Amino acid sequence: MPMREYVIAYAPEKRPLWVVAVFHGRRSPRVIAAILRGRE
């Protein structure tokens, strides 16, 4: 979800909602995906 200059990654299936990561919006989407894959 874009939030001004930041991207918020969250786990919608969790209750309460879990925010997984917050990244600056200028980061490469590929880098963000690689970082999130490493958290699984």
Residues in a beta bridge with 7: 2, 23
| H-helix segments, 1-40 | 29-38
Number of domains in the chain: 1
Kindly give the confidence (pLDDT) of every residue in the chain, 40 residues in length, as a single tens digit, with 9 standing for 90 and above: 555 788 888 888 888 888 888 888 777 878 877 877 876 5
Domain that holds residue 16: 2-38
Pairing of strands 2-3, 18-24: unpaired
Q: What is the pLDDT of residue 29?
A: 78
Q: What is the pLDDT of residue 3?
A: 52
Q: What is the pLDDT of residue 2?
A: 52
Q: Are 20 and 39 in contact (CB under 8 A)?
A: yes
